[in-house]
């Protein structure tokens, strides 16, 4: 789970200490309905990760257009945590929408929660950003590949995409490669084996 809430619980409680704070969905929704500051919105969107239900998803969706970048990022991850696979279409739409610019967070949310219905959106996003992808400048690549790797045995398009990666593997930032090696070592091993065979 991205951004485990235990790192923010104390901050949330401190922020709302003068507001008759209680850990409840109703409390955070009441704050979001009448926020006093952008920080109210941020900490409420984060707090709903602990106590939120499907009932709060519509207001979190509205925060995807909020002017504060951190709010937009936290909101999409909270939506993913609460809705899990049921919000897959929403996460896929955010990845492709020109109105939601935090693409790295959209891909992170997809990795965290989406089922295979997000595969077409992920592949379309990579296709649209092919130049950045092949020059190693697409921040969302690592999480996107980890997501697609879940479905290589059941989805031919996901498998075909991963099979193309050796052609530009060396241009992917080393940090991204190491992160992928940590989470999907079998696919990284396959890629490096193909490269080794080619160079030999």
pLDDT digits (tens, 9 = 90+) for 91-125: 999 999 999 999 999 999 999 999 999 999 999 99
Decide if pLDDT at 66 tops 60. Answer: yes
pLDDT of residue 7: 66
Structure tokens at 42: 């941020």
Mean pLDDT across the chain = 93
pTM of the model: 0.93
Contacts of 38 (CB under 8 A, 6+ apart): 66, 67, 68, 71
Greater pLDDT, 92 or 197: 92
Contacts of 124 (CB under 8 A, 6+ apart): 96
In angstroms, what is the C-alpha Rg of the chain? 19
Dump pLDDT digits (tens) for 153-171.
Answer: 999 999 999 889 988 898 8
pLDDT of residue 136: 87
Decide if pLDDT at 6 tops 80. Answer: no
């Amino acid at each position: 789970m991205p951004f485990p809430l235990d790192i923010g619980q104390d901050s949330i409680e401190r922020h709302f200490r003068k507001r008759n704070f209680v850990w409840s969905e109703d409390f955070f929704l009441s704050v979001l309905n009448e926020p006093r500051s952008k920080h109210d919105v941020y900490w409420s969107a984060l707090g709903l990760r602990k106590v939120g239900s499907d009932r709060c998803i519509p207001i979190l969706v509205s925060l995807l257009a909020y002017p504060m970048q951190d709010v937009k990022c936290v909101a999409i991850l909270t939506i993913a945590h609460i809705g899990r696979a049921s919000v897959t279409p929403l996460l896929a739409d955010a990845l492709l929408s020109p109105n939601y610019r935090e693409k790295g967070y959209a891909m992170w949310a997809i990795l965290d929660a989406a089922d295979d219905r997000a595969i077409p959106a992920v592949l379309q996003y990579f296709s649209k950003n092919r130049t950045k992808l092949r020059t190693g400048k697409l921040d969302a690549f690592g999480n996107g590949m980890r997501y697609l790797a879940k479905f290589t045995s059941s989805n031919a398009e996901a498998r075909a995409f991963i099979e193309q990666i050796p052609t530009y593997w060396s241009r992917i930032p080393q940090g991204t490669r190491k992160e992928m090696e940590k989470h999907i070592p079998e696919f990284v091993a396959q890629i490096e084996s193909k490269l080794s065979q080619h160079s030999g």
